[in-house]
Amino acid sequence: MKILIVDDEQDVEIMFLQKFRREIKSNLLEVEFAFSGEQALDVLGNSGNPEIVYVFSDINMPGMNGLELLSKIKSKFPHILVSMISAYGDRENYNKAINSGAKGFFTKPVDFDSLKNEIAELLTNR
């Protein structure tokens, strides 16, 4: 299963690769990274990258924010599941994300156990 992590902070790549090293090493998971909403849409392409089934995106990014990205993904690629992350666990962002079709909502620092459970659920349901 291939997932896409979207965050303007490039150091998250190292953290995610470290936290999911077992799943990656076992070939259960492939992880791709984009560092902006625009780059994420490029990775998904015009027809949606058929290998990517899950996107985990930061909300607060320069340019296209995560909520705008969520809206574009859900309208162009409704089959792709999206969860959002924010440094601010405010109710407004949570409501906007869930009402726009987000599967989940996480706050920073990321609770990797919860995220791993969500991804494990996706792997089980494949």
What are the sequence ranges of the domains in the chain?
A: 2-124
Q: Which CATH number fits domain 2-124: 3.40.50.10470, 3.40.50.720, 3.40.50.2300, 1.10.1060.10?
A: 3.40.50.2300
Query: Residue 106's closest CA among 52, 58, 62?
Result: 58
Q: Does residue 78 have a cis bond before it (omega within 30 degrees)? A: no
The rounded distance, in Å, linking the Cα atoms of 70 and 81 is 9
- Global pTM value: 0.92
The rounded distance, in Å, linking the Cα atoms of 61 and 115 is 20
Q: How does pLDDT run along the chain (126 residues), one tens digit per residue? A: 899 999 999 999 999 999 999 999 999 999 999 999 999 999 998 666 678 999 999 999 999 999 999 999 999 999 999 999 998 778 899 999 999 999 999 998 888 999 989 888 887 776
